[in-house]
Structure 1
């Protein structure tokens, strides 16, 4: 007979059971985006729980971006449509809680952004290409003004690429990853012995990426993105992280 070790069962809080039931009703389509939940009093009766329990469950659901309170009118909170912004908040929170390493964040960004650049090279609209061009021009103008404004323009450039990929998941996850390492980007420039050279190097790589996307060259766009991100962070990674970058960038 196999030896199995069990751990003590943890009792589920009542409000968590309420959260689970409402989540299931939303996911199954029983309650659709735009519809109202029952009122607090109705939920108390249907679920046989107290008002504080209902309110705590609603607070959790609201923090998850699933519902929103609507003053006035009839019924309880309204069910929200699932949005990229909601997913982005969840991803950012998960990244912080998991204490992801710089290596993991950079590797994930390479996977996301190289794919987004390849899609953007084929799917961008003239307006989206103009947004990329404008961001590059702002980067050029900000080189002399310091790394923080430069990095903001750089992020705008990559956000325009994610939009041009026409893939909401890539956009949301890419923006969340970029936001998680924004402070590291600023720190890199500020601690660099030659921040001007660092910014000029980043600008040169973004120009090359823009040219590949504008030309519709998906292979060059993907390769340029992988190389650019690897070059940007390589000096801050340990040996294992460096090997990972080499494997992804070829």
Structure 2
């Protein structure tokens, strides 16, 4: 096998870790792949780690011991987070986004990969210490964001639907009052979707009163699992009747449909 140079080693290490966030790779894995000594590999990893932190591309964590190794955490620099949130706020404050019924059009935001990837990185930082087993969301607009959060946490994504599918087998169903519509809606999930005793992070695009969150918490209780955190892109100023740690990136301060005015703010809890 031809000798692998330093540049090639750095490329392989970087691409492997970035493509597999939160996955622990042993030093032996890299040494075998790159045909190098552990001392050489340690120097390479230190260099990659410094570059990541200097450029705001996340950070590397090393775990010592026989079962140890290195893994990649996809976060952002604080100044990059603030710049992104200001961009997002300004994009959403366009009065043309106000649609009939006093709602805000956000489809182009929640299905824009460049936007939701950055939002997902912020949620990684906010919920990194929660020891999460699953990422959950409800169909449909929260799925894209939740998918990136699941990818970055390296955890399975589960989606609660508003009707059961025969292809999913037996399901668990609950009824809840939607905070957006005020109507009674159904939330359903396959019995095989979540293991007993799981810790679940709920991700969604929008939260008004917290009805969907309460519904998800009730649904998870049927699996004897717990809701350990809630991350939403946007929340209103309305009082939330939820008893779980939740973080919204932006707050909808005011929506004046008659005069076509809409105001958002960055949630200070996110950037403090």
Larger-gyration structure (1/2): 1
Which structure shows the higher helix fraction?
Answer: 1
What TM-score results when the alignment is normalised by the length of structure 2? 0.30
**Structure with greater contact order relative to length (CA < 8 Å, sep ≥ 6):** 1
What TM-score results when the alignment is normalised by the length of structure 1? 0.32
